Amino acid sequence: MSTTVAKSSFWRERFPIDAVAHFFAKKTVPMHRHTIWYYLGGMTLFFFLIQVGTGVLLLLYYRPTAEAAFESVQFIMTKVRFGWLIRSLHSWSANLMVAAAMIHMFSVFFMKSYRKPREITWVSGVLLFFLALAFGFTGYLLPWNTLAYFATKVGTEIASVVPIVGHDLLLFLRGGEEVTGATLTRLFGFHVAVLPMLTTALLGLHLLLVQVQGMSVPPQAEAQAAQRKPMPFFPYFLMRDLVGWLVALGVLAALAALFPWELGEKADPFASAPPGIKPEWYFLFMFQTLKYIPAKILFMDGEVLGILAFGLVGVFWLLVPFLDRRPEAGGRTRWFTVFGWVAIAFIAVMSLIAYVVPQTF
Amino acid sequence: MMANFFSRISRRSFLDYFLGGGAAALAGSVLFPVLKYIMPPAIPQAVQNDVVAGKVGELAPNSGKVFRFGNKPGILVRTPEGDYRAFSAVCTHLQCTVQYRDDFKHIWCACHNGHFDLTGRNLEGPPPRPLEEYRVEIRGEDIFAIRQT
């Protein structure tokens, strides 16, 4: 790599490419028993790149209006050559991306990689995760099928629970009082323009910070990392990364080919919500919780309280590096680790119940 | 007086305030129209107070159907005894569209398992309020649902 750069004086005169090449040549990855978790960020990035590619392809045929959206997706699935594959890849990769991001986020959390000076890396990462969920939510409506219609109705209604600005927020999301074609066009705009723009900026910051700060070594593995030689990123770690990506591509292609994403029925705003309706798996634990919260808690509507509680946990999660100051001084914070496990257990149990308990009561 | 005033604010900080204020005004004058643009204009809806919800003989006892009431769904129910009842079909929990369940003999919302009895009262599950009830009037073949004022 460095020799080819040295030979080409064209780029050296125009860009400090030697410095960049030098930086990457010196980049290393610490070796310890938790090293495997370092692959998850790159894995998330890989699925994101798939999303960009397949998303651009879907844009060629998709039409974002209530009258034509469902039919255009049907057209992609049945008439466009490999259209079913492109759409399935986009849907499956979205799910795998959220899963990879989730594992990445929790592993970072347990390894306390958010401690000084990596607070901004954590905050940008959590915001990127929220953006991934927003991509999932806005993209879900675009085929304009029954499930999507009610999911969007409930999801946007949840936004209206926010104190003071709730109703304005609902109007902003729906483009009116109801979920209509205006909502579809709006969420399409968010999905293909606003969210990608925000994601690109945050992702740039996130990756830049990771490069500048280097890999964090978890406190529990510091002794081991000090004994073992770090692995040069070029080419050894990158090669391993690529093997992981190849496996991911294989899994993704198999899922997309064997279980093509269903389209369902076209949305009818004047039909009842179908029995067995439930959101995508990453929203399932919130959905299940909303079912169990009683209608009234003291003087407040139960769902308002539940939704506000989820919002507060989200803010807490974002601010973790500023709340958990102990690891910087070499101390261990049991409470944060316990919180992480409780959160995982809660998500797992609620999701499992939603899958196992029959939906028609 | 004037000299005193000018000597208290340096030329530098005057320019800073001037530029900062100008930048803030510019940002505000850009953001204000953008924010206003983002909020959708209110589209006037003809206020509808009654609608034909169904035809006589269309519904068997112990069944129900969803009908359009303006831009929102309503539900017409025929009770097991053969009476007609009409409600808003918008669940009071998170606005899903409810349905009549003949096996429960009452109204049910599929989204978060909310139950309502045949007077619209919230029986069970997360819905916090009863469904809005409409008055039912049969004129000839038509069953009207009328909003109670």
What was the ipTM of the complex prediction? Answer: 0.77
Q: Do A150 and B66 touch (CB under 8 A)?
A: no
Q: How confident is the model at residue B8 (pLDDT cuts 50, 70, 90)?
A: confident
Residue A234 three-state SS: helix
- Residues B105 and B120: their CA atoms lie apart, in Å, by 12
Q: How confident is the model at residue A139 (pLDDT cuts 50, 70, 90)?
A: very high
- Residues on chain B touching A277 (C-beta within 8 angstroms): 96, 110-111
Q: How confident is the model at residue A328 (pLDDT cuts 50, 70, 90)?
A: low
- pLDDT tens, B30-56? 899 889 888 998 877 777 889 999 999
- Identify the DSSP state of B61: S
- Residues on chain A touching B63 (C-beta within 8 angstroms): none
Q: Do B127 and A295 touch (CB under 8 A)?
A: yes
Residue in chain B closest to A305 (alpha carbons) equals: B126
Which of these, A115, A107, A145, A108, lies nearest to A268 by C-alpha position?
A145
CA dihedral A302, A184, A150, B146 (to 10 degrees): 90
Residue B2 has pLDDT above 80, yes or no: no
- Residues on chain B touching A174 (C-beta within 8 angstroms): 40
Q: Do A277 and B73 touch (CB under 8 A)?
A: no
The predicted model gives A265-275 an average pLDDT of 91
> Cα dist. A154→A4, A158, A287, A291 in Å?
56, 6, 10, 12
Nearest to A303 among B40, B67, B94 (CB): B94
Q: What confidence score (pLDDT) does residue A293 get?
A: 85
pTM: 0.89
- Residues A222 and A227: their CA atoms lie apart, in Å, by 9
- Residues on chain A touching B72 (C-beta within 8 angstroms): 178
CB A148 within 8 A of CB A267: yes
Q: Apex CA A156: angle with CA A293 and CA A93, to 5°? A: 95
The contacts of residue A51 (CB under 8 Å, 6+ apart) are A90, A93, A94, A97, A135
Q: Which residue has the tokens 């007077």?
A: B119
Sheet containing strand B142-147, edge to edge, reads B50-55, B142-147, B133-139, B84-88, B72-78, B63-69
φ, ψ for residue B99 (rounded to 5)?
Answer: -145, 160
The contacts of residue B95 (CB under 8 Å, 6+ apart) are A153, A154, A157
- Contacts by residues A19-23 (CB-CB < 8 Å, ≥ 24 positions apart): A23/A211
B123 in A contact zone (CB under 8 Å): no
| Positive or negative: CA dihedral B102, B106, B108, B113 | negative
Q: Do A178 and B73 touch (CB under 8 A)?
A: no
Residue A196 three-state SS: helix
Residue A247 has pLDDT above 70, yes or no: yes
Q: What confidence score (pLDDT) does residue A295 get?
A: 78
Residue in chain B closest to A360 (alpha carbons) equals: B110
Q: What confidence score (pLDDT) does residue B6 get?
A: 61
Task: Give me the half-sphere count of Cα atoms (radius 13 Å) on the Cβ side of residue A239.
Answer: 5
Best residue in B95, B108, B121 for a mutation probing chain A (most A CBs within 10 Å): B95
The predicted model gives A56-75 an average pLDDT of 96
Q: What confidence score (pLDDT) does residue B12 get?
A: 87
φ, ψ for residue B97 (rounded to 5)?
Answer: -95, 125
Q: How confident is the model at residue A5 (pLDDT cuts 50, 70, 90)?
A: low
B102 in A contact zone (CB under 8 Å): no
Residue B95 has pLDDT above 80, yes or no: yes
Chain A: nearest CA to B6, how far in angstroms?
43
Residue in chain A closest to B129 (alpha carbons) equals: A295
Residue A212 has pLDDT above 70, yes or no: yes
| Structure-model confidence comparison of residues B8 and A251, the more confident one | A251
Task: Give me the half-sphere count of Cα atoms (radius 13 Å) on the Cβ side of residue A264.
Answer: 18
φ, ψ for residue B53 (rounded to 5)?
Answer: -90, -20
Q: How confident is the model at residue A9 (pLDDT cuts 50, 70, 90)?
A: confident
- Residues B35 and A192: their CA atoms lie apart, in Å, by 20
Q: Do B110 and A272 touch (CB under 8 A)?
A: yes
Nearest to B96 among A150, A296, A302 (CB): A150
How much is the mean pLDDT over chain B? Answer: 90
Best residue in A149, A184, A272, A360 for a mutation probing chain B (most B CBs within 10 Å): A272
What Rg value do the Cα atoms of chain A yield, rounded? 23
Q: How confident is the model at residue B22 (pLDDT cuts 50, 70, 90)?
A: very high
φ, ψ for residue A313 (rounded to 5)?
Answer: -60, -40
In DSSP terms, B101 is beta-bridged to B106
Q: Do B126 and A290 touch (CB under 8 A)?
A: yes
- Residues on chain B touching A296 (C-beta within 8 angstroms): 128
Q: What confidence score (pLDDT) does residue B44 get?
A: 78
The contacts of residue A353 (CB under 8 Å, 6+ apart) are A288
B68 in A contact zone (CB under 8 Å): yes
Residue A292 has pLDDT above 80, yes or no: yes
Neighbours of A172 (CB within 10 A): 16
Q: What confidence score (pLDDT) does residue B4 get?
A: 65
Q: What confidence score (pLDDT) does residue A163 get?
A: 87
| Least confident range of A1-5, B23-27, B113-117 | A1-5
Q: Do A270 and B93 touch (CB under 8 A)?
A: no
Which of these, A96, A272, A111, lies nearest to B100 by C-alpha position?
A272
The contacts of residue B34 (CB under 8 Å, 6+ apart) are none
- pLDDT tens, A86-104? 999 999 999 999 999 999 9
Best residue in B36, B97, B100, B107 for a mutation probing chain A (most A CBs within 10 Å): B97
Nearest to A302 among B43, B73, B126 (CB): B126
Q: Do B40 and A287 touch (CB under 8 A)?
A: no
